[in-house]
Amino acid sequence: MNDNVKPYIKTLEDELDWKLLDQLHGVVSQISSFCFEIKKYCVITTFVVMTLLVKFTSQQLDHSLFVAGLIIPICFWFLDSIGYYYQIKLRSTMEIIGEKIAIRGSSSNVTSTGGRIIFKDRLNRSQWLKVKDSILNHSMWLYGVMILIDLVLWRFFCSGGIS
């Protein structure tokens, strides 16, 4: 065993940072679950509203159906992107806290494992890019597909292809 390496002894700062990391991890997990639920509620709300609109329009297609089919996913997309944005902000904070713990423990046998909570390039992005990333990312495809389907069907309706 190397005599120059000191055993790791948690300081009060380390203990507080580990507790904070734990709490932030719990919040990120809850937001992630919330974002998944939002997607489910979007689909459910769309079907419920469409069913009600069909009943209220005497089972005839009309523009209100397509407008609702557009507005519902846009609203849920907005809500979901806010959740995604805050997940990124919290993960950035967690990464900074993890680095502080690693720096304080660098004189002992505690070293950074190289594991990242979030990639470094995402930490230093401008506010505009962070917002853009929260709106346009792979987890938001559901909303884009729903909007695309609605627009295609609406175009067919307007051209007389469906009635």
> CA-to-CA distance for 161 and 153, rounded, in angstroms?
9
- State the pLDDT at residue 108: 54
Q: How far is CA 73 from CA 46, 49, 84, 92, in A?
A: 8, 12, 16, 28
State mean pLDDT over 13-40. 95
How much is the average pLDDT of 55-69?
A: 91
Residue 19 lies in a domain: yes
* Choice among 11-25, 84-98, 119-133, 143-157 with the minimum mean pLDDT: 119-133
CA distance 63 to 69: 10
Residue 104 scores a pLDDT above 70: yes
Q: How many domains does the chain have?
A: 1
In a domain, 5, yes or no: no
pLDDT at position 142 over 60:
yes
Confidence band for 107, pLDDT divided at 50, 70 and 90: low
What pLDDT shows up at residue 7?
Answer: 72
Whole-model pTM?
0.82
Indicate the pLDDT class of residue 114, thresholds 50, 70 and 90.
low
59 part of a folded domain: yes
Task: Identify which of 121, 88, 114 has the alpha carbon closest to the alpha carbon of residue 99.
Answer: 114
Domain-located, residue 7 = no
The domain of 71 spans: 12-106+114-156
Residue at 144 is within a domain: yes
Q: Between 121 and 25, name the one with better pLDDT.
A: 25
Q: Is 4 a member of any domain?
A: no
Residue 68 lies in a domain: yes
Residue 6 forms part of a structural domain: no
